[in-house]
Amino acid sequence: MVVRLSSSLLLLGLSAAVLVARAVRYGTSLEKPPPSAPPQIERDAAAQRLARALRCRTLSDFDPQRVDREPFERLRHVLEESFPLVHQHLKREQVADLSLLYTWPGREPELQPILLMAHQDVVPVEPGTEGDWKHSPFGGEIAEGFVWGRGALDMKSALTGIFEAVELLLKEGFTPRRTIYFALGHDEEVGGFQGNARIAALLAERGERLEFVLDEGGLIVEGVIPGLRRPVALVGTAEKGFVNFILSARGEGGHSAMPPRRTAVGALSRALMRLERSPFPLRIEFVSEMFRHLGRRLPFAMRLFFANLVLFGPAAARMLAKNPKINSNLRTTLAPTMLRGGVKENVLATDVSAVVNVRILPGETIASTVSRMERIIADPAVKITPTPGTEPSAVSPIETPAFTLLRRTILEVAGEVEVAPYLVVGATDSRYYAHLTNRIYRFMCIPMAPGDIPRLHGTNERISVDDYVRSIAFYHRLIVNSEDL
């Protein structure tokens, strides 16, 4: 008995030692380059040029006929006046009328080109909230160390930041080794169906294959990753699919004083309740890859979990799913966003519907999502109709020279940050280039504190002048570093 107990305790001790040893070794250990010398950027002049771009009310629309062309044409003239060397040395093409494709020819045209992306359009200001803005949303004001206005973050600062970097490099006499494309869509906020979709098709017609694509989607965050206090540069290596489902139910009409046993409103309500009570299954692979890159900086308890996912995986997933931001990286999510039905409070509704917005995890599909929703609702009286949507993207590899280049550039410019891949829960226009490369990354070198996140598409959007200058330095360094690619 004593021998058996001793053996069991020894085995338990050895198992614990293995788990602890794995936790100690957990995470990547990559060499960090020293910071690079920043380029000589005219800080105030650069901020003024961004402010001019923000004054252009470039609003896109699902109906191209309703788009006001004048602000887009004005933005084009602002770019021409602000960046004369860019427009002297680069070729500019107008695609789908308002989108722009710039080409900077490389010294070795046989090499696969790089594509950098930004979009011209911005989301409108929610009616009734104009008075909540500290500075006019389309005033392009510079105050308190910030440039204020719609598009300051999403994403005219990237658009003009790229051109600031190129203009500076042209002044320095630089010519890239690889050809570089700059794709500036005009309708990203409404799906990019005209702009970048057409630019990608044009490049495909010309037989292009791209070395890598860089778009928006990732940022430098702080106070967002559980257990980590250091800032983290999150580089999107994949993005969720998205689709809106229309759930509809029909029922008998008539007076509400004499209701039938089942009503259309009741059927639809039960369907929505069942969906919310039966979330999609947790999958931890995307989050675990992110944490693997952060492993050496995590608290020991989290390292113990993630170093031993075979044992602790389900528990770790359930723990992380309690955080809504992390939960969105762990599963396909759905959210009812709109309801319609009924004409009067004492009349039975005959036709009711709801819009359910679904963000689909890579590895799943729109079709598999429909099948699961049908099984959960289990009511033939409720019809599920998907609207046109986008399938999840493929996952871009990180063991590539392109990702290494991106990581190196971030560390050289942003300094004391960690770099990790992650899953973008929104959608970007980069998905249109998937047939031209499997190396699509999503990142802007802008820090984002939790309190700043509501400014994206929200009130008081702004970027600090310091952060904007750093963003320019990032694009400048990325282009210079691409010489080694």
Catalytic residues: 121, 188
CA–CA gap between residue 418 and residue 297 (Å, rounded): 9
Residue 306 near residue 317, CB atoms below 8 Å: no
**CA–centroid distance for 22 within its chain:** 32
Q: How many residues does the chain have?
A: 485
Q: Which of 293, 320, 324 is nearest to 418 (CA)?
A: 293
Give the number of other Cβ atoms within 10 Å of residue 309's Cβ. Answer: 17
End-to-end CA distance of the chain: 65
Angle in degrees, CA 194, 199, 204, rounded to 5: 125
The one-letter amino acid code at 359 reads R
Q: How far apart are CA 225 and CA 217, in angstroms?
A: 16
CA torsion sign for 174, 175, 178, 180 is positive
462 bridge partner residues = 148
Cα dist. 74→78, 135, 279, 461 in Å? 6, 21, 47, 21
Hey, how many other C-beta atoms are within 10 angstroms of the C-beta on 414? 19
Kind of pairing, strands 99-104 and 91-95? antiparallel
What is the C-alpha to C-alpha distance for residues 383 and 248, in angstroms, rounded to an integer? 5
Asked whether 323 and 356 are in contact (CB, 8 A), the reply is no
- C-alpha dihedral over 29, 30, 34, 35, to 10 degrees? -100
